[in-house]
A and B are shown apart, each in its own frame.
Chain A
């Protein structure tokens, strides 16, 4: 398990809001530059000052754990953004987007909340009001030319209060052979995101699917209706507060509960 016992994994790890169910903030982002100051002792001190992210080794809570790892405390700093330089082609993309937005009179940080470059992938967190503008620039600017949009996928982070519903767009540039991820967040109380059907018609059905499964309303979508579930279904199934909906399995007189109701040791 390369995570919890803090085997020094080089490279920033990416996070968005709070995902770990127990800890306050999710992990990572060590600076890549291994300067002389980052000797193990210094790093150790810095790490002890960071918030606790995981307790115990095997994830068991509350029950007696005789392994001796139950008192383990893993500290990690929350990562909110990657520092420059991002590496590979990410800087070019960020710069090109910045100049395209400035030419349109929009500041970079007005539109983009933060940038995360992690595991070889660039993620731009875009403010939802600016999404169509940013998407249009990404598609049309010659230095960017992200022609293909793979689609929208929704993610529900119930712990990330104020930003529970995320819509993730994966863009591909055939001209420059590059990939980009754009992520937009909306709160549960106001789950509206502007629709990108005008910029990338391909996301039409994907937005319908995200509405169907998460309840994210895409303003400006021509026909935002259920696509996968029956038309009169109530609820949005892939949200975390929607149960899996299985039935207990009966076999030879015994009943095994559905997967989301079984005991969970992880």
Chain B
């Protein structure tokens, strides 16, 4: 490790240009050198400052987040998050796969809310294709249903580790238990518990299996009581309130400056929700509220998230009612994928004796009845559809905030560039604003209330 002498630093920030003190290049196992250099450079005014590394492997930092803390006693003087420990190159990988295969990559960005990544990407691709208003209605309802189920599992997946990090293991086990029920439903419909690759440009991959609506109704009957139980455990708990009230304060001006959206923004009192203000997938036709609190602290954000779980249950109930009213008319009358032979994924998937594959009717059709259908099937599966050149940005209201997908096409069968604007990436910038000046023990509930998922941060 050297100070600002590495190759990249020639063009990046050098010592003279950096406005925030010295630039230290950190690679690994050089902690002693950093301390020595910092002491030499007299970066610290008093001798009682401790530089502590909350390293990437830590039980309480919600994933591989590295925090370099400067402490004076118990007070945090500086906190610098270091990210990139989970950088996967998802965006670059997507440039070498077809548009439909891109879904399987972007789904693994923010892995607690995979369906939201997929939907943001698919909406952007559909906007480029110009088929936004031709997505079948059944597909839209199923999308909303799955998104709200994912919202429930994501919020629980943030609250349960929050309990664990605060030392309350019961919150963790009860949250995990609730989350299992949501994951069971996701598995029933999509086939996987996580990273589903279920939303495709043009619709969804397959229809709900028989028995899904009954299973969801059973979930809706039992879950509200369990959520109420969880809230009884947490909401009025004096220890929880003591640790979270007044902690991690970020008001509206701070949120606007730092580009913060989602529950953090709604905890400042501003009821901004993309589902209401810029609706997608038919959200304007559903009846739900946007929970808002105006305490701007970690406790407020927790309340917002739990209220959102209740609202999501409400939306899921409306989706189930709509789907039940539509009945199961079959893929010809009520498709879940756009009926455009040059775009829509051709194979009606069905479960056969050897697993999931194109349905026998579809095989009969392409092999025996229509040459065009065979050609379309072949070209769509090997090459994929072509998307006209241009760029589009589609944003959805994910459990963490505004998740956007900026997609650039050059007219080919592969994305030219995909950039996922992840809310956690933005929100982690606010860790310094939110924690500096507080106690080191407040760092944990602060980060838990920001609820970052490092897969989305690092992509």
Contact = CB atoms under 8 A, between A and B. Distances in A.
Whether chain A touches chain B in the assembled complex (some CB pair under 8 Å): yes
Contacts, number: 207
Contacts of A27: 388-389, 411
Contacts of A55: none
Interface string B77-107: 0000001100101011100111000000000
Contact of A234 (B7, B97, B458): B7
B8 to A, nearest CB: 6
Contacts of A150: 259, 393, 395, 402, 404, 421, 426
Contacts of A226: 8, 12, 84
Given A19-B410, A231-B25, A265-B383, A224 B13 contact: yes
B258 A201 contact: yes
A233 B278 CA distance: 40
Main secondary structure, interface of B, reads loop
A194 interface: no
A118 B260 CA distance: 27
Contacts of A19: 389, 408, 410-411, 416
B388 A2 contact: yes
Nearest to B4: A225
Contacts of A259: 93, 96-97
A263 to B, nearest CB: 12
A223 B8 contact: no
Interface in B414-459: 414, 416-417, 419, 421, 425-426, 428-429, 458-459
A179 B92 contact: no
B174 interface: no
A203 B404 CA distance: 15
A27 B425 CA distance: 34
A14 interface: yes
A238 B91 contact: yes
Given A26-B389, A227-B83, A202 B259 contact: yes
Interface of A: 1-4, 9, 11, 13-16, 19-21, 26-28, 53-54, 58-59, 118-121, 123, 147-151, 153-156, 168, 170, 172, 174, 177, 179, 181, 200-206, 209, 211, 215, 217, 221-234, 237-238, 244-245, 259-260, 265-266
A15 B390 contact: yes
B41 interface: no
Contact of B27 (A1, A174, A222, A230): A230
B390 A151 contact: no
Residue of B91, B384, B390 ringed by the most chain A CB atoms within 10 A = B390
B413 A266 contact: yes
B256 A148 contact: yes
A27 B340 CA distance: 23
B413 A170 contact: no
B6 interface: yes
B37 interface: no
Contact of B406 (A26, A168, A201, A221): A168
Contacts of A21: 410, 412
A177 B278 contact: yes
B18 A222 contact: yes
Given A211-B12, A266-B412, A223 B19 contact: yes
Nearest to A203: B259
B379 interface: yes
B23 A223 contact: yes
A58 B383 contact: yes
B417 A26 contact: no
B349 interface: no
A50 to B, nearest CB: 15
B385 interface: yes
A196 B420 CA distance: 20
Interface stretch (B127-135, B190-198, B228-236, B302-310): B127-135
5 closest Cβ contacts across the A-B interface?
A202-B259, A153-B419, A19-B410, A228-B84, A266-B413
A233 to B, nearest CB: 7
Nearest to A12: B390
Nearest to B433: A201
A26 B387 CA distance: 13
A119 B390 contact: yes
Given A201-B259, A206-B425, A226-B8, 9 more contacts: A3-B387, A14-B389, A14-B390, A155-B419, A201-B258, A222-B20, A231-B25, A244-B96, A266-B384
A224 B326 CA distance: 55
A59 B412 contact: yes
Contact of B83 (A26, A217, A228): A228
B140 interface: no
B26 to A, nearest CB: 6
Contacts of A148: 256, 259, 261
Nearest to B410: A19
B290 to A, nearest CB: 13
A248 to B, nearest CB: 15
Interface string B210-253: 00000000000000000000000000000000000000000000
B54 interface: no
A1 B18 contact: no
Interface in B1-57: 6-9, 11-13, 18-20, 23, 25-27
A158 B256 CA distance: 35
Contacts of A265: 382-383
Given A54-B411, A205-B425, A227 B84 contact: yes
B386 A4 contact: yes
Nearest to B387: A3
B262 to A, nearest CB: 12
